[in-house]
A = this chain, B = another copy of it.
């Protein structure tokens, strides 16, 4: 959420000169998305996002992201395209980083979604899962279940317990349970796995854009719905579940994609896994970020509370079959 690499206006203009996009008239570093540096560039013709890839995105994955977004755009999904320069190149070198010029999508991200907005998100996620049909390239989920034990091992357990008494043992037991319960043959496709409210742009109640695909990968489509459910259906601290938002999100999804029985039966396992994924990455960041750092540390317990909700929830109830 900061600009790590400084780019001068002159360097940005030199980059833009390779494209047929007009002349630079305004440039602002923006605090957005995962740990990349982002600039909002305005030319006399349009606006763009200039992204420089920092540590968290592996440049080797960029072609996969490009191809996925091109595929989704062609299929009519509201996703930002990578812009090609006059030579047809969409990947550039800038300030010793890999960099891309990306379509700017207007719209605002809601913090307290209305049910109609949650329904639109569910529908957009389902449409995305339909749209990736025919996109055959695979990319493993680097933050999937196979990574969680190693991530947990890198967190000091005493620090976890300081955050909440017994947390370390609870995570260890949950990881064992998740590995035992995790399915291995649900329908899979290219998925977003990070569709939090700040990655969805609205124009009023109309969904105008899905952004920040840098955690996208190949995984179960029902896991993507589970992540989105965990992201949208609770108060920020995870303590209050919002039934109306949940009904709208799952309803919007189910209107487009009819989940299989096994996906519904295993949904709570996936949702517990989704909660674990964010609990662990937040725990790691919490323990390894100095408290006085400029970056706001996000509370890991907000996802421990979601995990506790999913432990006692009933899938039939979530899917309106109570």
Point out residues on A near B: beta carbons under 8 Å. 1-4, 6, 8-13, 24-32, 40, 42, 106-112, 203, 290, 293-296
The 10 closest A-B pairs by CB, nearest first: A8-B111, A29-B31, A9-B108, A2-B2, A3-B31, A28-B30, A26-B106, A294-B294, A27-B108, A2-B294
CB A176 to nearest CB in B, in angstroms, measures 35
Extra A-B contacts (20), CB below 8 Å, given A9-B108, A9-B110, A25-B108: A1-B2, A4-B294, A6-B296, A9-B109, A9-B111, A10-B110, A13-B108, A25-B107, A25-B203, A26-B106, A28-B30, A28-B31, A28-B40, A30-B30, A30-B31, A31-B31, A40-B40, A42-B106, A290-B290, A294-B294
CB nearest to A295 among chain B residues? B294
Q: CA of A29 to CA of B109 in the docked complex: distance in angstroms? A: 12
Residues of B within 8 A of A13 (CB): 108
Chain B residues with CB under 8 A of A108: 9, 12-13, 24-27
From known contacts A2-B294, A3-B1, A294-B293, infer whether A25 and B106 are also in contact, taking CB-CB under 8 Å: yes
State how many angstroms separate the Cβ of A289 from the closest Cβ of chain B. Answer: 10
Chain B residues with CB below 8 A from A109, complex form: 9, 27
Name A49's closest neighbour in chain B (CB-CB).
B28
Among A2, A11, A26, max chain B CB count under 10 A is at A26
Residue of B nearest to A13 (CB): B108
Neighbour of A32 across the interface among B28, B106, B107, B296, CB < 8 A:
B28
Pull 21 A–B residue pairs with CB atoms less than 8 Å apart, ordered by A.
A1-B3, A2-B2, A2-B3, A2-B31, A9-B108, A9-B109, A9-B111, A10-B112, A11-B111, A12-B108, A25-B108, A25-B203, A26-B108, A28-B28, A28-B30, A28-B40, A29-B31, A30-B31, A40-B40, A293-B293, A294-B294
Name, among A12, A29, A110, the residue most crowded by chain B CB atoms within 10 Å (CB to CB).
A29
User: Which residues does chain B contribute within 8 Å of A296, judged by CB atoms?
Assistant: 6
Closest to A23 in B: B204
Would you call A29 and B26 a contact (CB within 8 A)?
A: no
Rounded to whole angstroms, the CA-CA distance of A286 and B213 in the bound complex is: 36
Give the distance in Å from the alpha carbon of A244 to the alpha carbon of B106 in the complex: 43
Nearest-Cβ distance from residue A241 to partner chain B, whole angstroms: 20
CB distance from A39 to the nearest CB of B (A): 9
A26 contact from B3, B107, B110, B293, Cβ within 8 A: B107
Given the complex of chains A and B, what is the CA–CA distance between A1 and B27 in angstroms?
Answer: 14
| A1 with B29, Cβ < 8 A, contacts A290-B290, A294-B295 known | yes
Instruction: Give the complex CA separation of A11 and B109 in angstroms.
Output: 12
Contacts of A26 on B, CB cut-off 8 Å?
106-108
- Residues from chain B with a CB closer than 8 A to the CB of A203 are 25
Report the minimal beta-carbon distance from A44 to chain B, rounded to whole angstroms: 10
A8 CA to B42 CA, complexed, in Å: 24
| A96 CA / B25 CA spacing, docked (Å) | 34
CB-CB under 8 A from A10, the residues of chain B are: 110-112
Given the known A-B contacts A1-B2, A111-B9, are A30 and B29 also in contact in the complex, defined by CB atoms under 8 Å?
Answer: yes
